[in-house]
Structure 1
Amino acid sequence: MATRLLLISDTHVPARARRLPDQVRRAIDDADLVVHAGDWVDVVTLDAIEAGAARLVGVAGNNDGPELHARLGEVARFDLEGLRFGVVHETGAATGRETRMDAAHPDLDVLVFGHSHIPWDTVTPRGIRLLNPGSPTDRRRQPVCTMMTAVVDDGALREVELVPVVRGER
């Protein structure tokens, strides 16, 4: 049976947006698993996503306070249909990222990360899929805010899609 994923990071509520965009809320409702790669900023956002998600895996980021760090930690790992996933907030500079992540996470198939607000989708030399969904609330130097969707089916990651978050729905 296929599992629908929503990948988000750097929601920064209420620092960068008053609330999650309606499009993100609908995507949470539609997903079988929500993965959040840190920088929630407030506990209210964690509680809201946790209440709306069928299942949630998340980590704390550099802008998250002690309560979020205590509830989430900085690294999460889970298996889904035989794929080994990891979630972290920061991976360091883009230069050399693939090599560093191969060394840091040799047992993973997929690593979801955030921090930069810059979408990223590459495969390391050892075969780890690196995914950064960007930010649904703070585009920084990107043309639009973003999130990612994907499907895990029959032990494979499929249909990875970078989804623009419509500005009018903030």
Structure 2
Amino acid sequence: MRLLITSDTHVPPRARQLPAPLLAAVDDADVVFHAGDWVDTATLDLLLARSARLVAVHGNNDGPELRERLPEIARAELQGLRFAVVHETGPARGREQRCEARFPDTDVLVFGHSHIPWDSTTPGGLRLLNPGSPTDRRRQPFAGYLTARVADGRLTDVRLHRLPPRS
């Protein structure tokens, strides 16, 4: 099962549209995770139309219309692997302990907000994934997104994809 993990698309104002490599990855994915900060409903509608399955939440930059359509926390079980998606997890310091306490029945937590890619595993085994942003790299050297696979109830092949600079 192929996964695409993205967040903080910010269309507009950070980009007029999603990058072509990201859209191609959406088309190839069996499940797309989006951890909030869409900013516009058109991007949500686009991913709903192009995704085989979308698991998504709203973020702090999303207005009332997106908040009506998306939850604060989304959950999915894929081949027995339990996923949760949330936009914000707080500061990096103490994140693993906070998330482990807040999501005790979760195997993989997808989050966004910081625009900083993150991949770690807590002492209790919770995998934390932040894909960064495909449109707003902030102080990061590149924009990006994640892909992964679920096979035999395990998360495998987690890969950070660097996007070329916008022209």
Tell me the TM-score normalized by structure 2. 0.98
Letter in 2 for 1:86: A
**Take 1:31 and 1:15, find their aligned partners in 2: how far apart are those partners?**
26
- How does 1:17-32 map onto structure 2 within 5 Å? 17-32=15-30
**Take 1:49 and 1:84, find their aligned partners in 2: how far apart are those partners?**
22
Report the counterpart of residue 64 of structure 1 in structure 2.
62
Tell me the TM-score normalized by structure 1. 0.97
Report the counterpart of residue 139 of structure 2 in structure 1.
141
Over the matched positions of the two proteins, sequence identity in percent amounts to: 64
Is the contact between residue 9 and residue 136 of structure 1 (CA under 8 Å) also seen in structure 2? yes
- State the Cα distance separating 1:82 from its structure 2 match: 0.4
**Residues 159-168 or 15-24, more deviating:** 159-168
Letter in 2 for 1:150: A
Report the counterpart of residue 154 of structure 1 in structure 2.
152
Runs of 4+ in 1 over 2 A off after TM superposition: none
Is the contact between residue 23 and residue 166 of structure 1 (CA under 8 Å) also seen in structure 2? no
Report the counterpart of residue 53 of structure 1 in structure 2.
51
Report the counterpart of residue 122 of structure 1 in structure 2.
120
**Take 1:57 and 1:102, find their aligned partners in 2: how far apart are those partners?**
20
Is the contact between residue 133 and residue 146 of structure 1 (CA under 8 Å) also seen in structure 2? yes
Question: Are 1:163 and 2:157 matched, yes or no?
Answer: no
**Take 1:167 and 1:150, find their aligned partners in 2: how far apart are those partners?**
23
- State the Cα distance separating 1:167 from its structure 2 match: 2.1
| Per-residue deviation, residues 49-103 of structure 1 (Å, max 9, x unmatched) | 1101111010000000111111111100110000000000000000000000111
Report the counterpart of residue 35 of structure 2 in structure 1.
37
**Residues 84-93 or 66-75, more deviating:** 66-75
- State the Cα distance separating 1:157 from its structure 2 match: 0.2
What SS class does the counterpart of residue 89 from structure 2 fall into? coil
**Take 1:23 and 1:11, find their aligned partners in 2: how far apart are those partners?**
13
Gapped regions of structure 1 (runs ≥ 5): none
**Take 2:72 and 2:13, find their aligned partners in 1: how far apart are those partners?**
20
What SS class does the counterpart of residue 162 from structure 1 fall into? strand
Letter in 2 for 1:123: T
Report the counterpart of residue 16 of structure 1 in structure 2.
14
Letter in 2 for 1:24: L
**Take 1:25 and 1:121, find their aligned partners in 2: how far apart are those partners?**
22
Report the counterpart of residue 93 of structure 2 in structure 1.
95
Letter in 1 for 2:75: R
Gapped regions of structure 2 (runs ≥ 5): none
